[in-house]
Amino acid sequence: MGRNRRKANSVITVPRDTEYSTKQLSKGTWRDFERLFETHPAPGAYPCWCMHCHWRGPETKSKGDSRAKLIERNRRDKKTLVKQGRSHGILVYAHGEPVGWCQYGPSQELPRIDNNPRYRKFAHGNGNERLWRITCFVVHKNFRCRGVAHIGLRAALAAIQNEGGGLVEAYPIKRWGAYQEWRGTVSMFENEGFQIVAPLGKSNVLMRRTILSCRQMCRLG
């Protein structure tokens, strides 16, 4: 059995760590999500409130909308999605303080990539398998290069497994320093058993991995 096949057929666990812990984004952890984004953990994170991938296309703006108004609208829209159970993600905590974030969700929740013509050529056509996306990472500047994004990713994969599994997609950068490091790096996903499917422009690639649910694994023995 190949390495990736083995990964597909195993229970995903989050590394036990004395410093870091993880929680799902929910009504109960909304305030922690706000706290993380209000620290301005990365340029772009605060204004976006991780709404970018929820939209099908460019954000609608009215003439005269101030930046502050748009930021507040994003925050409010994200909060509404969380209340409705339409936004998924993992918060990573260092000694109880939120320091990292990994957004994932079913494809319908994060549809923006569907508009990308390069992506559409390789779009997943099998209607029976559930399609998941891992779209965004944010790690607070003071906590970078310590594996926080890795922990968020592993917790997101474990959550997908608990929620029934399926095909999981990511769109990471090929080399560090390319624009869009918030999508994660190829090596992060390779370490978790993902394989490159196709290039998406100069800097990014489409990667996929199948995750079996715990029930499917039991059936396989």
Ligand X SMILES: CC(C)(COP(=O)(O)OP(=O)(O)OC[C@H]1O[C@@H](n2cnc3c(N)ncnc32)[C@H](O)[C@@H]1OP(=O)(O)O)[C@@H](O)C(=O)NCCC(=O)NCCS
Q: How far is the CB of 51 from ligand X (least distance, A)?
A: 9
Contact pick of 23, 144, 167, 196 for ligand X (by CB under 6 A):
144
Helices and strands per DSSP (H, E), number in the chain: 8, 7
Provide CB contacts within 8 A for 29, sequence distance 6+: 23, 91
- Closest approach, Cβ 20 to ligand X, in A, equals 10
Distance CA 70, CA 120 (A): 29
Among residues 15, 44, 85, 199, the one that binds ligand X under rule CB under 6 A: 44
* Positive or negative torsion for Cα 82, 13, 97, 147: negative
Structure tokens at 183: 């999508």
Nearer to ligand X, 68 or 145 (CB): 145
Q: Burial of 150 by CB count in 10 Å (0-12 exposed, 13-18 middle, 19+ buried)?
A: buried
Write the interaction track for ligand X spanning residues 169-188; mark x where CB under 6 A is met and - where it is not: -------x----xx--x-xx
CB of 28 to ligand X, least distance (A): 23
Nearest-approach distance from CB 67 to ligand X, in angstroms: 15
The count of chain residues that interact with ligand X, using the rule CB under 6 A, is 22
The radius of gyration of the chain's CA atoms, rounded to the nearest angstrom, is 17
Which residues contact ligand X by CB under 6 A? 42, 44-45, 48, 136-139, 144-150, 176, 181-182, 185, 187-188, 191
